[in-house]
């Protein structure tokens, strides 16, 4: 379980995140939504320990401040927003890098590490890509490889920053279906920034709406994706109707 308490982040004298608090339970997928610049990526970067923050990030009683980056990497795996993977490595080598925090000091991978990498590739339906160079992959393939690397890390918490950006609809749906399956089967705690409100409504257990570095609403999709809250957050009049297939909320720009 992931618990973020009073987390603030500043760049120079400018405070970007203001006392954010939220928890993600094991077996839960929490979507972060909000307009561009609201602070979703900054929150994910702070929670994963790559930028300094004030406040607390905890998991099962351990405070992240007290952990080394390698120790932290046993708890949290991250799929960052649209990064370029080192192009010369093969997919297999890249996924196996997920095992780094678990290796002994010689950094030697074992049969068991390889088995985990094989299984991670299989789960994202990328086993046929194993020998390919990362530089040759399409956007959708790279995104699946990044997810496989994160899964190979075998952490109880997974953070994803707009994992469906640049994917076509088929890949958006299959990637989120897969993440939801992982949440259910492996009891992962998932915090995912999602750009698309209707994908958030469809896949998340709960949704946190961020505006200008604050969480302005947090709850079930139907309680957060309301015309009032969304129109106000995005400065755009919207309607919310019942999704004809799922029965959940469907946001339509007016």
Binding residues for ligand ADP (CB under 6 A): 11, 16, 34, 36-42
Work out what residue 37 binds among Mg ion, ligand ADP, none; the CB cut-off runs from 5 to 8 Å by kind: ligand ADP
Is position 8 an interface residue for Mg ion (rule: CB under 5 A)? no
Query: CA–CA separation, 140 vs 30, rounded Å?
Result: 22
Q: Which stretch binds Mg ion (CB under 5 A): 37-45, 56-64, 94-102, 114-122?
A: 37-45
Closest approach, Cβ 93 to ligand ADP, in A, equals 29
CA distances from 185 to 26, 111, 200 (A): 11, 24, 20
- Which of the residues 216 through 245 are near Mg ion (CB under 5 A)? none
- For ligand ADP, give the closer residue by CB, 78 or 95: 78
- For Mg ion, give the closer residue by CB, 116 or 179: 179
- For ligand ADP, give the closer residue by CB, 43 or 137: 43
Cα dihedral across residues 228, 230, 235, 236: positive or negative: negative
- For ligand ADP, give the closer residue by CB, 150 or 211: 211
Closest approach, Cβ 165 to Mg ion, in A, equals 9
Q: How many residues bind Mg ion (CB under 5 A)?
A: 2
CA distances from 90 to 95, 131, 132, 210, 240 (A): 9, 6, 5, 37, 45
**Contact (Cβ atoms closer than 8 angstroms) between residue 171 and residue 126:** no
- Which of the residues 40 through 59 are near Mg ion (CB under 5 A)? 40-41
- For ligand ADP, give the closer residue by CB, 109 or 198: 198
- For Mg ion, give the closer residue by CB, 25 or 41: 41
Closest approach, Cβ 78 to Mg ion, in A, equals 13
- Which of the residues 111 through 170 are near Mg ion (CB under 5 A)? none
Give the footprint of Mg ion on this chain (CB under 5 A). Answer: 40-41
């Amino acid at each position: 379980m992931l618990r973020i308490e009073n987390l603030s982040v500043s760049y120079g004298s400018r405070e970007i995140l203001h006392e954010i608090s939220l928890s993600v339970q094991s077996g839960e997928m929490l979507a972060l939504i909000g307009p561009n610049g609201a602070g979703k990526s900054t929150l994910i970067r702070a929670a994963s320990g790559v930028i300094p923050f004030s406040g607390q990030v905890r998991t099962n009683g351990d405070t992240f401040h007290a952990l080394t980056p390698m120790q932290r990497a046993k708890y949290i795996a991250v799929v960052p927003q649209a990064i370029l993977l080192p192009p010369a490595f093969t997919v297999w080598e890249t996924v196996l890098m997920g095992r780094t925090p678990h290796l002994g000091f010689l950094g030697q991978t074992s049969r068991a590490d390889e088995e985990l990498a094989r299984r991670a590739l299989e789960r994202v339906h990328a086993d046929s890509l194993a020998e390919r160079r990362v530089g040759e992959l399409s956007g959708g393939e790279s995104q699946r490889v990044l997810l496989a690397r994160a899964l190979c890390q075998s952490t109880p918490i997974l953070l994803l920053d707009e994992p469906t950006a640049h994917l076509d609809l088929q890949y958006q749906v299959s990637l989120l279906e897969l993440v939801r399956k992982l949440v259910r089967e492996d009891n992962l705690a998932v915090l995912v920034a999602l750009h698309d409100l209707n994908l958030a409504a469809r896949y998340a257990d709960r949704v946190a709406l961020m505006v200008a570095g604050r969480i302005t609403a947090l709850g079930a999709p139907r309680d957060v994706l309301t015309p009032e809250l969304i129109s106000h957050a995005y400065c755009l009049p919207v309607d919310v109707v019942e999704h004809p297939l799922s029965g959940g909320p469907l946001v339509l720009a007016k």
